[in-house]
Every structure is written in C-alpha cells, then in structure tokens.
Structure 1
Amino acid sequence: MRLDDIQIRDPFVLRAPEDGRFWLFGSTDADIWSGPATGFDTYWSTDLEEWHGPLPAFRPEPGFWSHTQYWAPEVHVHDGAFFMFATFTAEGRRRGTQVLRAERPEGPYAPWSPGPVTPHDWECLDGTLHVEDGPDGVVPYLVFCREWKDVGDGEVHAVRLSDDLREAIGEPFLLFRASEAAWARPLPRPGFPEVHVTDGPWMHRTRDGRLTMLWSSFGDSGYAMGVATSGSGDVRGPWTQSDTPLWPADGGHGMIFADGAGRLLLTLHAPNGTPDERARLFPLEETPDGLRLTA
C-alpha cells in the first residue's frame, strides 16, 4: 500500500539498525478521540514508497489501566532494546506518557514503566525521549507537553529519566509556553478566556550542533508546526521561537529522520481532520537560519 492508503495521526518513522527497514508508527485507531482503544499498529517499508502491514505493535493486556485515547507512539533505540513512548488516558485518571519496551522494532510492546512517567496530577501528552551527554555519560530526558486543560497557555516541559527509562527523577522544568511563539493563535474554550495548544515536541540536533525542537499548535490557518531553538545548545534552553511556522496550515505533529542515504526527511500528518489524516514526507534542509523544507 501507499501512504495515502493509511489513516494515521502523529506519524513517527524509525529506521531499524539491523536491516534498514523503515517502521511507521502513529495514532492508528479509526477514532482516536472516543470509545475503546484497540492499540497501536505499525507498517514497514524498504523504500518509503510501498508499505506493508498493518502489524499489531501494541495491544493492551487485560487490566491495563487505560482503555481509550491511545496517542502518538514514538519508538527509540536505547541500550539495545526498543522503547515506545505513548500517551494514554482513562476515566478518573490524568492523561500521561508511559514507556513500553520490545525486543524488535515491530513489537510486541509491553509496559515498561509502572505507569505514566509524567506527573500524575498533570494533564500531559506527547512525550519524546531526548538524550544529552553529561559529565558521567549520557543523560536521558523526557520532553512533553502539559495541556491547556491544566494551565490555559499550554506548556512544554522536560524531566530527567532514570538510565533504564522506567521512572522520572526529580521535578519537571518549564521550557516554554505556547503563547511565546508569534505564530501561535488562541482558541476559545469553555472556562478559559483563551487557550494556547502545545502538541508533539520533537528534538533535532543539527549537524553543526544546534538543538532544535519541532512542536505544534494552531496558527492563522489551523493546525500548524513551528520550530524552537535552544540558545545554550542543551535542553534547558533558553528557547527562542521561529517567527513563522515551518508548516503553516492544516497539519503538524512532525518528526525528522534520515533515509538510507542520510538525507533528512520530515514526516507529519495532514490534513488534520479525522478520518482523513495521512502521513506525508518532505525533504528537509538545515540552513544557517534554521530548518527549511526543500520541496
């Protein structure tokens, strides 16, 4: 099948180190907004044109705490295994990011952290793994969004993770708020004078060492995606926002990966409305002024 045949939100592409296959993950339930969730599916390709699947990457065991709204799975290779970071929720529980683990990129994935690694009393989503060099070795962080439902002006936070990725260590720290981006527009929501959305952070280190972050909100033409850049080169920032979105209209929640030749590609979903969401791929270029789509 082709990408136009696959309904998917929040697409994530992993190039498997052992065979060079590309694995596509994302929010794959037909209705991710309500009703019981099925799980996450994955698709694979060798050329990014023809895709095979779906294969069941995650199916919850009986007794799993979440039963609805399974969102935005990402898969990262860490210490020789595959770790999925995904958003879950349940009635009477706060939405959060939990870590799952598998021995193969396609799964099956099983819970690894005892529960969400985001604060249990916050509404959180879209956690992504970011690893930095520290004085005693690599340091893993979770970068995630705190929802507007808590704070009105959506936030992006980071928190250190344990080396085995099972738990958060210490307190989260604020990176920025959505309204700091000139391109982000408020939305009307009951109980708030206005709200700003934060979605889908993705960390990208450029070849010359700059640390950038893709993230999504709403702009002049609907769902959109911008870029923030760390002034210090590490996760603590300070973070400055691009004046205009990288993707301005009716799409977003993107990430960056390299193809077999090392060329950078951006994937995101567009359009934004269910059930029409599709993963799209675009060549991406690093310039002295930032990230730029080349086609």
Structure 2
Amino acid sequence: MRLPDMPLHDPFIVADKETRTYYLYTSNDRSVSGVAGTGTMVYRSHNLRDWMRPVVVFLAADQEGLWATDGGWAPEVHKWDGKYYLFTTLHNQNKPLPVPPPNQWGTPFPIGNYMRGTIIAVSESLLGPFTVIDPSRPTPPENLMTLDGTLYVDPSGQPYMVYAHEWLQTIDGTMEAIRLAPDLSGTVGDPTYLFKASDAFWVSEQIPSGVPHQLPPYVTDGPQLYRAPDGSLVMLWSTYEKNSANPDGTVGGYYVQTYAVSKSGNIKGPWSQRRPLVRNDSGHGMLFHTFDGQLMMVLHRPFNNARGKLYEMQLVGHELRVLRQRTDLDGGG
C-alpha cells in the first residue's frame, strides 16, 4: 500500500531502530483493517513509501469495564520503562458533564459537554495487544472535556501528559499539562495551563474584505513536544485559521499545522507562537527521524477523508522550517 491509498487521521510514526521499521498508528478503519470497532491500527514500512496492510493493536470493546467505547482518536505509542504505552482519546455522550461557569472569555456552550479524554494502555510489543491501565476514567481529570493527550518527559525524567482542553468548555481552547505517576498509572496534582488558541496572533489575520470576523470557538488540537538542540522546547499543534481563503476560493476556517516555542525549555513556558508551517486543511502533525537521521514531519490532509503527507524538516536553533514535501513518498496533493 502507498499513502494515497491509506485512510488515516492524526498519524503518529514510531521509527523502531531495532527492526528498522516505521510503525504508523491511526484510528481503526474497518475498510482497510478488516476489523470492526473503535480502536487503533498500525501500518508498517521499511522505507516510508511501501506499507503493509494494517493490523489492529487495540479495541475498546475488548477492555473490560471501559468507561467509553467511542472515539479512538489520535493514537500515539511511546516507549517507557521497557514497555510500550498507547495514548488515545475516547468519549461517551451518555455521560454528560456539568457546564462550567463563565470565564474570562465568556459563557461556555450549554450543550455538547460530555465525558471525553485520553486513556493510556500498555503492551510488551509495538504490535499490541494494548490493555488499558485504568478502565474507569480518562487520565486527565474526568470533569474536563479533553483530547489528544501526548507524553512529555522533562529533563529530570518526570513524565507529563500534555493535552488539549476542548473549546466547548473553555470557549478559547487551551493546552494544558499534568504530571503522571512514574508508571503512568495516574496523575499527580492539578493541571497546568500552557497557552490558549487565540494566542496564535495570525488566527484571524487574513480576513477578506467585506467578511465579518468570526467569533470563537478557538480550537487547540494535536500537541507534540520536541526538544530542540539549543534546549528550547517546541510544541507542534493544530487549529483553524479564521476567515482565511480556502484552496477552493471559499472563505472559512481551514485546519492548519503550526507550532509554539518555550525558549526556557520548561513545559510551563512562557510559550511564544509561530506562524503556520503548512496550511491547505492540513494538521495534527508530529516529528520523527528517519533511520538516516533526517528530521521529518507527518500530518494529515484534508481533514475529511484524510491521507498522510510527509515533509522534510529543519531546526535552526528552535525555529522549524519546511524543506520540502516528499511527494515521491506521499503522492503529493
């Protein structure tokens, strides 16, 4: 299989040096995996061009007592203390959450607040099967509507989950971090606020003449942390660019891939926002290295009926640059 033929959303690649195999995790899709149900599947490749048909590594329905069986968004797999840990977002519309009180950005939406958050599952293998550590609740506080949790480990070895807090609760979506227990079995303390979506100064910058400025929601999606050579901390994340001109000439809010920098190197920031890396309804990207050392970014485009796109990247200090799209691998477009 090649990327243009592979349905995938929120791609995450693990480059396993021992087997010189790239593992590309995404939400389960029965049309290619042959298995029904909410979960995670993985494609495998030795060259980033030719991929094996995916296999399912996690199914929500197989987890006894799991609090949710819908979603399966944004799966990531991280090696930690000799095992592999799957992070993926589930939700349960039958478990409504109280509407939060008004905040500095306004009054949260009275509908659509229900239990959503990232779970952590563990396996001895990159191919699973993965078993949820705590089936009773998501890892972030269960009263928060969150998604897209990722693993970050600070220089002292302390693990964190960094996640997006939904705009449905906050109006202006936020990025937050919470400390994890050493075995990733739970959290320690309260969440730490990192930044909000509207901090991206360019979000409403390109407003065509005669078109009124759209109000929030301001969305935060898809965090991934990367340590720059100068010690700074880089966070890839995605949002919607308000009132931008879309590729088809219409006006709307297309998905974009952007990033932020914490020059202090501390997860708490302060975080400064950068301009988008890739537009054209692209996003939820992550960085990885090829086996020959090239820094790469994978993302999906378009948001609906998504396919994977690959880019060669460069870090100059803590500034990310797109060198070129690898159209020879991803089919272009």
TM-score where L is the length of structure 1? 0.90
Structure 2: which amino acid aligns with 1:263? Q
Q: Distance in 2 between matches of 1:109 and 1:152?
A: 34
Give how far 1:70 is off. Answer: 1.3
- 2:57·2:129 contact (CA, 8 Å) conserved in 1? yes
Gaps of 5+ in 2: 96-114, 206-213, 247-253, 325-333
Match of 1:223 in 2: 255
Larger Cα-atom Rg: 2
| Count of residue pairs the alignment pairs up | 280
Query: 1:43 matched to which residue of 2?
Result: 43
Cα displacement (A) at 1:287? 1.4
The offset of 1:289, in angstroms, is 6.3
Q: Specify the code of the residue in structure 2 equivalent to 1:111.
A: V
Match of 2:278 among 247, 254, 257: 247
* Alignment of 1:141 onto 2:171: no
Counterpart residue number, 1:96: 117
Structure 2 partner of 1:213? 235
Residue in 2 aligned with 1:54? 54
CA offset at residue 234 of structure 1?
1.3
- SS of match in other structure, 2:19: coil
SS in 1 for 2:133: strand
Q: Match for 2:313: what amino acid?
A: L
Q: Which amino acid aligns with 2:74?
A: A
Give the whole-Å Cα distance in 2 for the aligned partners of 1:269 and 1:86. Answer: 17
Do residues 64 (structure 1) and 66 (structure 2) align? yes
Structure 2 counterpart SS, 1:9: coil
Q: Distance in 1 between matches of 2:285 and 2:48?
A: 16
Q: What CA distance in whole angstroms lies between the structure 2 residues aligned with 1:162 and 1:63?
A: 22
Please, which of 299, 302, 305 is the counterpart of residue 271 of structure 1? 302
Task: Check whether the contact 2:160–2:179 (CA below 8 A) recurs between aligned residues.
Answer: yes
| Uncovered stretches (5+) of structure 1, i.e. residues with no partner | 187-191
| Contact 1:154–1:178 (Cα < 8 Å) also in 2 | yes
TM-score, L = length of structure 2: 0.80
Stretches of 4+ aligned residues off by more than 6 angstroms: none
RMSD of aligned C-alpha atoms? 1.8
CA distance in 2, matches of 1:261, 1:193: 45
- Cα deviation, residue 92, structure 1: 2.8
Q: Cα deviations across residues 104-144 of structure 1 (Å, max 9, x unaligned)?
A: 1111111023431111001000000000122xxx1001000
Cα-to-partner distance string for 1:15-35 (whole Å, 9 max, x where unaligned): 12421211000123369xxxx
* Same amino acid, percent of matched pairs: 38
Work out the CA distance in 2 between the residues paired with 1:293 and 1:193.
Answer: 30
In structure 2, the partner of 1:159 is 178
